[in-house]
Amino acid sequence: MQLIEGKNITIGYDGEAVVSDLTFSVESGDYLCIVGENGSGKSTFVKTVLGLIPPLKGEIVFADGLRQDSIGYLPQKSQIQKDFPSSVREIVLSGCLNRHRRLFGYSKEEKAKAQMIIERIGLGKIASSSFQELSGGQQQRTLLARSLMATERLLLLDEPVTGLDPQATAELYALIRTLQSDGITIMMVTHDIHPALNDANKVLHFSHNAYFFGDKDEYFRTEQGLKFLKEAGHDHR
């Protein structure tokens, strides 16, 4: 089933196009990697999908029942203050505010759901700990848990492994793989070739004034794909 589709849309800021005539679609169960150099349109694409900026031309269509504000978004880490006092549970619970209707506090169901997600992501032991005292990997998992509170269908991850050590990176990728095999659709912006190579089934590549969208195998036969492989030291394939 198709979750998100864009046909010949143009995206950009303040009337200035960054990517023109973009056509893409995300099916339920997909693992889409979004790659490309800095400034080529990845962030613009993310913001457009989230509805933070409108497309300059055309529109992004969402499947029945998927609301734009219930995409499980994992933002780039840099935008969160390092010294913010907050427990893991407080952060995870805040993910459900998009559907929150109660006047005071969270409902019993919301709390139960948060607890379930906390266990599922392996944060059970540190649920009451302070976010600022966690390791980079634990912090990312906390934010991932928060995005799962917002949705059970589609995660949009913006460079989730930036700043993580190799082990934490591998653990996070494994976790994302598990979520995907549980039926959650993944869209991931990344600089790292490994998820694109190992886990993804589709690739959206942005380069200045051009893009590629298609299956992974097809991508790694294109000039852009081969160049990416070479830069990452995987050109022996």
- Over its C-alpha atoms, the chain yields an Rg (Å, rounded) of 18
φ/ψ of 209, rounded to 5, equals: 50, 30
81 binds other proteins (CB under 8 A): yes
Distance CA 193, CA 229 (A): 7
Task: Say whether 192 sits in a helix, a strand or coil.
Answer: coil
Select the span of 11-19, 44-52, 58-66, 217-225 touching other proteins (CB under 8 A). Answer: 44-52
Q: Does 75 bind other proteins (CB under 8 A)?
A: yes
Please say which residue, 146 or 205, places its beta carbon nearer to other proteins.
Answer: 146
Any bridge partners for residue 207, and if so which? 210
3-state helix, strand, coil in the chain (%, to 5): 40, 25, 35
Contacting residue, 2, 21, 61, 84, with other proteins by CB under 8 A: 84
Q: Which of 23, 20, 45 is nearest to 34 (CA)?
A: 45
**Shortest distance (Å) from residue 14 CB to other proteins:** 15
Q: Report d(CA 83, CA 5) in Å as an integer.
A: 39
Q: Which is nearer to other proteins, 75 or 163 (CB)?
A: 75
**Residues 104-143 interacting with other proteins (rule: CB under 8 A):** 104-106, 128, 130, 132-133
- For other proteins, the closer CB: 187 or 197: 187
- Which token pair is 77? 């880490």
Single out the segment in contact with other proteins by CB under 8 A; choices: 68-76, 166-174, 203-211, 220-228. 68-76
Could you list the residues that contact other proteins (CB under 8 A)? 50-52, 67-71, 73, 75, 79-81, 83-87, 90-91, 93-95, 97-98, 100, 103-106, 128, 130, 132-133, 146-147, 150
